[in-house]
Amino acid sequence: MIRIYLARYEADRGKKKRELEHELGNRLLYMGFKDLYGSVSGSQDQPVILRGEHGKPYLKDFPYIRYNISHTDGMVACGIGERELGIDLERIRPFRHNILRKVFSDAERRRMEDLPEGERSQYFFRIWTLKESYLKAVGCGITIPLTSISFEWKDKSLLSCSEPGVSFYQTLIDEEYVLSLCAMGDEEINFGQNLAFCTEGGSRGTEFCFQKP
């Protein structure tokens, strides 16, 4: 099972946005760690975080636990489970069109051209977050050409990827954010809303659960 925790935020005056996002990301990680694994023998309230060769973080004392954190303007996400995973979260906004040739495959660019202008920003970030989640899951940084990975939708819910051996899930949050998750393995990933929790300043966050069928 892979579980994702989300938190909305508004930066306080005098507090840097990056610092707040980092703080919230760690808070979600520690919350999820306790929620999923409870009191693990020898564990600390705040597990020690190290980084791999390409900068991917991992828990020093719990190598079987995998996690990943992403943040964007107004929201932070943390995914935790026992398979290699990557998560990417972006707020939908205007994008630079000259980046398409560096990110999109030929098929994805053709699909973009067929869309109405008003749907292109959402489509861009759907593709972008899927590719970012894949790179974060494999843990190699941007060493793979993004154009070599291609996605398409057979219908509104069926997503296919050119890369074998990985599972993807994607959802829109309030029609404002795109969240994508990649997990290593061929097993299907299901999505279900579980519960709500309080985060910074008492605002409400939401926990989402990805579970094997």
Record the tokens describing residue 159, joined without a space. 């997503």
Residue whose C-alpha is closest to residue 183's, from 165, 208, 157 = 165
Average pLDDT in the 153-181 region? 83
Percent of the chain with pLDDT over 90: 32
CATH code of the domain made up of 2-211: 3.90.470.20
Record the tokens describing residue 12, joined without a space. 């306080």
Q: What is the pTM of this model?
A: 0.84
Per-residue confidence at 199, pLDDT binned at 50, 70, 90? very low
Q: How far apart are CA 40 and CA 45, in angstroms?
A: 10
Q: Domain segments of the chain: what residues? A: 2-211
Q: Quick one: angle between helices 106-114 and 120-138, nearest 10?
A: 160
Record the tokens describing residue 193, joined without a space. 């809303």
Stronger pLDDT, 125 or 5, i.e. the higher one: 125
Q: How far apart are CA 166 and CA 161, in angstroms?
A: 8
**Greatest distance between any 2 Cα atoms in the chain:** 56
**Length in residues, the chain:** 213
Beta bridge partners of 8: 75
pLDDT of residue 202: 42
pLDDT of residue 197: 38
Q: How would DSSP label each residue in the chain? A: -EEEEEEE--PPTTS-HHHHHHHHHHHHHHHHHHHHH-S-TT--SS--EEE-TTS-EEETT-TT-EEEEEEETTEEEEEEESS-EEEEEEE-----GGGHHHH--HHHHHHHHHS-GGGHHHHHHHHHHHHHHHHHHHT--TTS-GGG--EEESSSS-EEESSTTEEEEEEEETTTEEEEEEEESS---EEEEEEEEE-GGG-EEEEEEEE--
Using the predicted structure, report yes or no on whether residue 196 has a pLDDT greater than 50. Answer: no
Tens digits of residue pLDDT in 69-122: 999 998 899 998 888 999 999 999 999 988 999 999 999 999 999 999 999 999
